[in-house]
Amino acid sequence: MVDDVVVVGAGPTGLLLAAELRLAGVPVTVVERAAGRSPHSKALTLHPRTLEVLALRGIAGRFTAEGVPLPVGHYGGLPTRLDFSALDTRFPYTLVLPQLRTEQLLERRLEELGGEVRWGHRVLAVRQDADGAEVEVAGPDGTDVLRAAWVVGCDGAGSTVRSSAGIDFPGTPTTTTGFLGDVLLDAPPPAGAPSYDNARGGILIVELADGYHRIVGSTQESSAVPTAQPLTLEELRTAVRAVAGTDFGMRAPRWLSRFGNAARQAARYRAGRVLLAGDAAHMHMPFGGQGLNVGVQDAFNLGWKLASVCHGRAPAALLDTYHAERHPVGTALLENTRAQTAIGAAHTPDAQALRDVLSGILADHPDVNRRLAGQVSALDVAYPAPDGGPLAGDRAPDVGLDGECGPSLYPLLADGRFVLLGLTADGPGADLVAAAAGLAGGADRVRTVAARPVTAHPGWDGLATVLVRPDGHIAWARRAVDGAVRLPGAA
């Protein structure tokens, strides 16, 4: 075999997955059909949970040093914004950072770990058998066949990997479209990602770091235009004037595009030796800026599991938990983006009335605002773990710790191992240490830490032992030393 894993696609999802595999010492090949990185950034934001994921590997600072934090998000473009500052996280904000820069930083991470991207390599087909898979690739030097134990399709909504594996991609077609343009504005609006909304349509304006502004939205007229029809500067100017009353002096467009509300999800995230992540697994209207973020979080869930299987520390059945945990997240993603499309992409008096009512509810009821903020930010994602005790399956917050380990939890996970926290003077018992080692695939895959939490978090009072997975979710927790429980499908 050439490598243990072939990752198809060098977007944020594929890059993070490959970096996670390299962190664990797994040989990986990344192939990308494009000849080089696109200068256009479809996504602009990193959400709180994505920043936590990066912090769990000690690299969040690379991103926060360059991005612009905004303490708000939005739901369907409603005038009342989601208050991310009220969330229980070290990153209570949306980080504005173009996808291009996110990809460059993730590629640097991959290179530091000994990986690289093979640009200009287009996958023609994927074939698998009981022992592995073959990836037929057309590259600059002709056609080649890569042999690997596993193939992961991170190759977008039109995934060749998905179709080669025979995985269905059911859903709904495009029925309404939106537009986006990166332009210079001679008379820009106030900073802070302002939105404009009336019966003609809605737009959102985001200032980019290089002086350009991203304008995204839709109008009654534009929503019926097919995505394949080119967007012109004059059309964008007319749409913005209709909604905002001015075109803000827009000029010098560097990217004009359309997008649609087609929503589809792969029926399976695993078919034998083929797995899917990111847009290859789910596509949707880009309301809330969730696509890139959910894809990165897919990769973070899959990476440690696939590494464990490649190293023989866990059976292949562990990979079934990837589908079991992430497929419901994708389903919820499609549900909330469809809801946001219904709110934000319809421009009728009835729709405007609904927007006004919902915006008032978000303003008057902080608990509702916080619930939707948790949904969009992905901080509310928890995985089923019925036998794991209190908090099992939840994401672990960056608990402040008092002990020789350092001041907080997240740095302890930087090397991608499990962390067993003993939060009492006695520390975890030998049986729990052994159980943690069994789950992780060896004692060397668990960092055992004796410490006491010094920051309050819901549900952590009285806990004696907590086992945190490499992806920052709680495998199990105990208020007393009463044994441990295996994750579904784990050894």
Quick: pLDDT tens for 221-251.
Answer: 998 999 999 999 999 999 999 999 999 999 9
Q: What is the pLDDT of residue 489?
A: 40
Q: What per-residue confidence (pLDDT) applies to 144?
A: 95
247 residue type, one letter: D
In this prediction, residue 183 has a pLDDT band, given cuts at 50, 70 and 90, of very high
**366 confidence band (pLDDT: 50, 70, 90):** very high
pLDDT in tens, 13-45: 999 999 999 999 999 999 999 999 999 999 999
CA distance 392 to 371: 20
Reported as a single tens digit per residue, the pLDDT across 45-100 is: 999 999 999 999 999 999 999 999 999 999 998 989 999 999 999 999 999 999 99
Half-sphere exposure of 274 (CA within 13 A, CB side): 26
Q: Report residue 308's pLDDT band, with 50, 70 and 90 as the boundaries.
A: very high
For the chain, first and last CA: distance in Å? 25
Q: Is the pLDDT of residue 10 over 60?
A: yes
Determine the Cα–Cα distance for residues 39 and 43; give it in Å rounded to an integer.
12
pLDDT at 253 over 50: yes
CATH node for 401-478: 3.40.30.120
Q: Find the mean pLDDT for residues 363-378.
A: 97
Of 270 and 479, the one with more pLDDT: 270
Q: Report domain extents, the chain.
A: 3-172+264-377, 177-260, 401-478
The 3-class secondary structure across the chain, one letter per residue, is CCEEEEEECCCHHHHHHHHHHHHCCCCEEEEECCCCCCCCCCCCEECHHHHHHHHHCCCHHHHHCCCEEECEECCCCCCCCEEHHHCCCCCCCEEECCHHHHHHHHHHHHHHCCCCEEECCEEEEEEECCCCEEEEEEECCEEEEEEEEEEEECCCCCCHHHHHCCCCCCEECCCCEEEEEEEEECCCCCCCCCEEEECCEEEEEEECCCCCEEEEEEECCHHHCCCCCCCCHHHHHHHHHHHHCCCCCEEEEEEEEEEECCEEECCCCEECCEEECHHHCEECCCHHHCHHHHHHHHHHHHHHHHHHHHCCCCCHHHHHHHHHHHHHHHHHHHHHHHHHHHHHCCCCHHHHHHHHHHHHHHHHCHHHHHHHHHHHHCCCCCCCCCCCCCCCCCECCCCEEECCCCCECHHHHCCCCEEEEECCCCCCCHHHHHHHHHHHCCHHHEEEEECEECCCCCCCCCCCEEEECCCCEEEEEECCCCCCCCCCCCC
Please list the residues that pair with 467 across neighbouring strands.
420, 476
pLDDT at 242: 94
Q: How confident is the model at residue 490 (pLDDT cuts 50, 70, 90)?
A: very low
Predicted confidence (pLDDT) per residue in 106-116, tens digit: 999 999 999 99
* CA–CA dist 9, 137 (Å, integer): 12
Using an 8 Å Cβ cutoff, are 16 and 300 in contact?
Answer: yes
Q: Which CATH class name applies to 177-260?
A: alpha beta
Q: How confident is the model at residue 3 (pLDDT cuts 50, 70, 90)?
A: low
- The answer to whether 105 and 16 have CB atoms below 8 angstroms apart is no
- Rounded-to-integer distance, Cα 440 and Cα 469, Å: 8
Q: Is the pLDDT of residue 2 over 70?
A: no
CA distance 377 to 369: 12
CATH number, span 3-172+264-377: 3.50.50.60
Q: What are phi and psi of 172, to 5 degrees?
A: -125, 145
- Residue 181's identity, in one-letter code, is G
